[in-house]
Amino acid sequence: MGAAVNTGASLPQLVAATGMPKSSVHRYLEVLVQEGFLERDAQTGTYRLGARIVSLASNETPLLVIRARPYLERLRDLFDETVNLGILSGDNIVYLDILESPKTVRLAARVGDRDMVHSTALGKAIAAELPEAEVRSLLQRTGLPRRTANTITRVADFMKHLELVRRHGFAVDDQENDVEGRCVAIVVPARRVQYAISVSGITGRFPMSKTADAARAMREIISELAEHSMPPIKPYP
């Protein structure tokens, strides 16, 4: 099915591949077309990779974005905070899908935006799953620029922090990428590419005491999405 998306896949094929209702798949496909992740052939009616996603070099990515959308909606409605789906592309995190909080004041990037690995929960969650040598090589290329007073800026400290991420089962960006933001992320098991889902909120209404609850909710949703058992969550002290 992955190869079919590259050459063009019809709506019935995508419905069969995702196991979702036809109306839902069509709605999500139109969102992806609007965002530039997919293109629709006017003559054949088939969908293929759009310009914004071809660079990610993953056939499975469009299907994941389609399948994940209802789960992300559920997560957003549960916490009333912004929910993100991100991927490691090159040395950066790329936002594949974003469902913004209904709150007037909220944290939200834009689909297609790139962000740093060392200062984001999405980046930390993915980095914790990678070989140490690969992470060190990535950090050597990008550096660890300071985004806020809380940003980790030393490789040794970051590597030690990843041990904490593995022990607790989720990653936290505690005002490290944005002075007013806190974010929690968990990886999404996939065959070839590193994905993660996160919940981002303003620190005043998204305290550290809620991070473990958000992580548990994400774990349950990811388990359903990936049909893969997830490790237990241990709250940060």
- ∠ CA 91-93-98, nearest 5°, is 165
Q: Is there a single domain that holds both residue 12 and residue 100?
A: no
Domain that holds residue 161: 65-226
Q: Is residue 233 part of a domain?
A: no
Per-residue tokens: 16? 């069969």
Looking at the chain, the whole-number percentage of residues with pLDDT higher than 70 is: 84
Q: Is there a single domain that holds both residue 175 and residue 200?
A: yes
237 vs 235: CA distance, rounded Å: 6
235 vs 20: CA distance, rounded Å: 34
* Predicted confidence band of residue 22 (pLDDT cuts 50, 70, 90): confident
Residue 137: pLDDT above 90?
Answer: yes
218-221: which pairs have CB atoms within 8 A and are 24 or more residues apart?
218/75, 218/170, 218/184, 218/185, 218/186, 219/169, 219/170, 219/186, 221/71, 221/74, 221/75, 221/197
User: pLDDT by residue (tens digit) across 67-80?
Assistant: 888 889 999 999 99
Which carries the bigger pLDDT value, residue 147 or residue 42? Answer: 147
Q: Is residue 218 part of a domain?
A: yes
Residue 222: pLDDT above 80?
Answer: yes
- Please name the residue that has the structure tokens 């549960």: 78
Q: Is there a single domain that holds both residue 162 and residue 213?
A: yes
Q: How many other C-beta atoms lie within 10 A of the C-beta of residue 100?
A: 15
Q: How many other C-beta atoms lie within 10 A of the C-beta of residue 184?
A: 30
Q: Is residue 232 part of a domain?
A: no
Residue 83: pLDDT above 80?
Answer: yes
- Overall average pLDDT of the 15-36 stretch: 81
Residue 42: pLDDT above 90?
Answer: no
- Overall average pLDDT of the 201-207 stretch: 91
| CATH number, domain containing residue 44 | 1.10.10.10
Residue 2: pLDDT above 50?
Answer: no
Q: Is residue 75 part of a domain?
A: yes
Q: Is there a single domain that holds both residue 77 and residue 192?
A: yes
Q: Is there a single domain that holds both residue 118 and residue 199?
A: yes
DSSP state at residue 19: T
Q: Is there a single domain that holds both residue 79 and residue 11?
A: no
Q: Is there a single domain that holds both residue 24 and residue 84?
A: no
pLDDT of residue 236: 59
Q: Is there a single domain that holds both residue 50 and residue 69?
A: no
First to last CA, the chain: 44
Q: Is residue 59 part of a domain?
A: no
- Overall average pLDDT of the 83-90 stretch: 90
- Please name the residue that has the structure tokens 């984001």: 120
Q: Is residue 176 part of a domain?
A: yes
User: What are the residues facing 200 on neighbouring strands?
Assistant: 82, 183
Q: Is residue 15 part of a domain?
A: yes
Q: Is there a single domain that holds both residue 27 and residue 106?
A: no
| CATH number, domain containing residue 114 | 3.30.450.40
pLDDT of residue 232: 55
Q: Is residue 236 part of a domain?
A: no
Structural domains in the chain (count): 2
Q: Is there a single domain that holds both residue 35 and residue 77?
A: no
- Overall average pLDDT of the 49-61 stretch: 59
* Predicted confidence band of residue 45 (pLDDT cuts 50, 70, 90): confident
- Overall average pLDDT of the 121-133 stretch: 96
Q: Is there a single domain that holds both residue 146 and residue 96?
A: yes
The reported pTM is 0.75
Q: Is there a single domain that holds both residue 96 and residue 211?
A: yes
CA 43 from chain centre, in angstroms, equals 33
Backbone angles phi, psi at 232, to 5 degrees: -70, 155
pLDDT of residue 233: 52
